[in-house]
Structure 1
Amino acid sequence: MIYLALIAVATLLVLFVRQRYNYWKVRGVPYLDPVFPAGNVWGLGTRLHPSEVLQKCYDKLKGKGPFGGVFFFLGPTVLATDLDFIKTILVKDFQYFHDRSFYYNEKDDPLTGHLFTIEGQRWKNLRAKLTPTFTSGKMKLMFPIVSDVAAELKKCLVTEKDDGGEVELKDVLARYTTDVIGKCAFGLDCNSLENPNAEFREMGRKIFTTTPLSIIKLFFVQQIKPLAQKLGVTVLNQEVTKYFLKAVKDTVEYRESNNVERNDFMNLLIKLKNAEPVEEGSSRPMEKLSLNEISAQAFVF
């Protein structure tokens, strides 16, 4: 009986994979033959950078049409190969292409519920709220913050050169970026240029730390996204999630209780949280952002 069940499961799996890998064929779209289980992205994250994988696929599909079909593991994916078609996607028909198919779970994994992952009407509503925060004028207001951190970067480079002669630029620039993000998005003085082991920097590292188990987990949730969402599957390190949620909560509470305002992204998010207009003179009614929502936007900043 057990053997029959295993045979049945294996048969269903084979049929499912075949059905997925026939997606582009039955639609008459030029495509690259996939190989289970990675589809057309073998070597991704191990031997090859994502850009190298995409370049190989692009070279094989170029000239066969304005776009072609590839498979990201089991997921059929469009690869645009024509400039005019790309313009159509990004401008004229953008309303049909804004969903990116990334996994998110706002309830159980709140930091995944940001503008780059959510879909449909939720995405449209959030984009409408956040658009005023990304105008050129708002970005210019943050320039003094970036400039201040750049001054700290200069000091750091001089100090490290005097101490050892050689400077590991990748690490120093990562710490610089961390301090800029910390100040602009979270309103925090991270001081990772001064202290390479600062807590904010350590949490930032953990975001990008992957294990074989986490890669397998991410693969499966991408293939069964609706089911994974219902089961409450999370993909972010929960220590990281708790840290950033608390950081935003503490910052918001401090600023609101002490009437503190700064020219940073966090200040704009707090205004959205309180349904205040972000643009001067605007009388358009605003819907409030929740604390989890502003945490997610700051997290992806």
Structure 2
Amino acid sequence: MITAENLTKRFGSHTAVDNVSFVARPGQVTGFLGPNGAGKSTTMRMIMGLDRPTSGSTTVNGKPFASHRDPMTQAGALLDAKAAHPGRRAVDHLRLLAATNGLPAKRVADVLDLTGLTDVANRRIGGFSLGMHQRLGIAATMLGDPQVLIFDEPVNGLDPEGVHWVRGFARARAAEGRTVFISSHLMSEMAQTADHIIVLGKGRVLADAPLNQFLRAAENPNVRVRVSDATVLGSLLAADGVTITQTAADSLEVAGLPSHLIARAAALEGLELHELTPLSASLEEAYLALTDEATEYRSAV
């Protein structure tokens, strides 16, 4: 489990993380989302004891990470996939980490096999692709067989096969009862991976909820309607505050009116309804709506 309580980090006059509190629980993947500059990476560094909070605290499995006598058996973190000497062989990189942390040497073979790197174990890291770097970083996180896994943008730059592999890896580790904490900018991927969502904006928590609850809260009020006479139904529904868009000869998209009132109007007129579908927001739509005012860096249109 990961906890953050009133976590704040200032760099001079800039507040990167502002009174952040949350819990990431075992048995689920927690997606940690937010625009660039929101404070995600700084928060992860504080969890791992790499940055000292200005105030507040974090714990991993009930204690500050640096207080654990055997830290790699408590948590593994991939914060920078390129943080390995390019001239070293992959197997030697992992052997060094195992030896310096008092971990059994046999774990090296285990994690190489787990991440699909056994066949390239003797290659030098400098010749690795980005996907292989990510797998090696994930192998390092698993050396101590920890109950907490922290990944900062683990799918950046990966091809579809690599993205699919990371998703399956995260889901499998959560199914084993581990705490999996992942930051990402890929909303479509988080929608398939995360059970719980935490969203930061300008250093503050904007949302902290199960994925399905987060999406329901951002539900699009529009309703898609297919009916025997879309023109007639559209004229019946026209009213102040109601927006009607005819999307096909037999289809409407209606905003500002609940489904049951649309159905009642069609029934009273004797129209045949073929579809009546409330349109739910995607994770990307919900995220963009929530973070619109919290985005510090915008591209010109």
The answer, yes or no, to whether TM exceeds 0.5 is no
Structure with larger Rg: 2
Instruction: Please state which structure has a larger fraction of its residues in helix.
Output: 1
RCO (CA 8 Å, sep 6+): is it higher in 1 or 2?
2
Which has the larger strand fraction? 2
- TM-score range (shorter-chain normalised) is under 0.3
Structure 1-normalised TM-score?
A: 0.25
